[in-house]
Structure 1
Amino acid sequence: MRFLVDECTGPAVARWLEEKGHDVFSVYDDAPGIADSKIIRRSHEEGRILITNDKDFGGKVYRERSPHCGIVLLRLGNERGQNKISVLRRLLEEYAGRLPDQFVVAAAEQVRFASKEE
């Protein structure tokens, strides 16, 4: 799968995804400080699922109607890299086929899917 990992999500997540064989663009490593509007545009143009901890992307999708190829919003009390990886591991094992074109909120105990049009 193709992912764009937001700067706030961190380099550990990007490295883990790469180790699992995914095509990853890491904002932290490759474009620190770029604006959210450029992040969502780039992920869409490159056919990447955006992984972020930034709730602002919900507004970009639902208020501004920004097109995307899928967004995974991590909503975690424990923001450590290993916890993010644990949640993403479970998400990919159970729902990989459902991630494209969805807005997904992934928490430690639950996953919620919302379509682009919601």
Structure 2
Amino acid sequence: MRLLADENIPLATVRALRSAGHDVYSAAEANPGAADAVHIERAIREDRLLITFDRDFGELAVRGKERPEAGVLLLRFIPKAAAEVTDLLLALLARSDVKWQGHISIIDGVHVRQRPI
């Protein structure tokens, strides 16, 4: 899966996602400090599911002129360690019963809530 990991996604998680076969663009590695709009534009241009802890992306995705059709995965929990983020994302992205494309998916650590973009 093509993913865009926001700066707040641990680099250990980015590496694990890559090891699992995902194509991951890491904002922390490639473009730290860039505005959220820059990351949304890249996600749209490269058709990547955007993964973030930043609630602002939900607003940008819904109110922007162009919307990230690959989806936004918004993590809404406080992890105790990077491994918690890694394990959760690997499990979620392996699920075949969840359609990420065209949705903002809000993950609270246990549940997945979705709404169309």
The sequence identity of aligned pairs, in percent, is 33
Give me the whole-angstrom Cα distance separating, in 2, the residues matched to 1:56 and 1:79.
Answer: 22
Once the 2 structures are TM-superposed, how far is the Cα of residue 103 of structure 1 from its aligned partner?
A: 0.7
Give the direction of change, closer, same or farther, for the CA distance of 1:79–1:44 in structure 2 (3 Å limit).
farther
Q: Match for residue 15 of structure 1?
A: 15
Unaligned runs of 5+ in 2: none
Q: Which has the higher helix share?
A: 1
CA distance in 1, matches of 2:14, 2:53: 13
* Counterpart amino acid of residue 53 in structure 2: N
* Distance change in 2, residues 1:43/1:5 (3 Å): same
Equivalent AA in structure 2 for residue 70 of structure 1: G
Matches of 2:36 and 2:8 in 1, distance apart? 11
1:108 and 2:96 are equivalent in the alignment: no
How big is each residue's C-alpha offset from its partner over 1:66-110, in whole Å with a ceiling of 9 and x where there is no partner?
410211001112252111112112212224761122111112111
Map 1:1-118 → 2, pairs under 5 A: 1-68=1-68, 69-78=70-79, 80-95=81-96, 98-116=99-117
Deviations 1:55-74 (A, max 9, x none): 00111122335410211001
- Closer, same or farther in 2 for the Cα pair 1:96/1:66, shift >3 Å? farther
Q: AA paired with 1:41? A: E
- Kindly state the Cα deviation for residue 11 of structure 1 after the two structures are TM-superposed: 1.0
Question: Alignment RMSD, CA only?
Answer: 1.6
Instruction: Give the paired residue count.
Output: 116
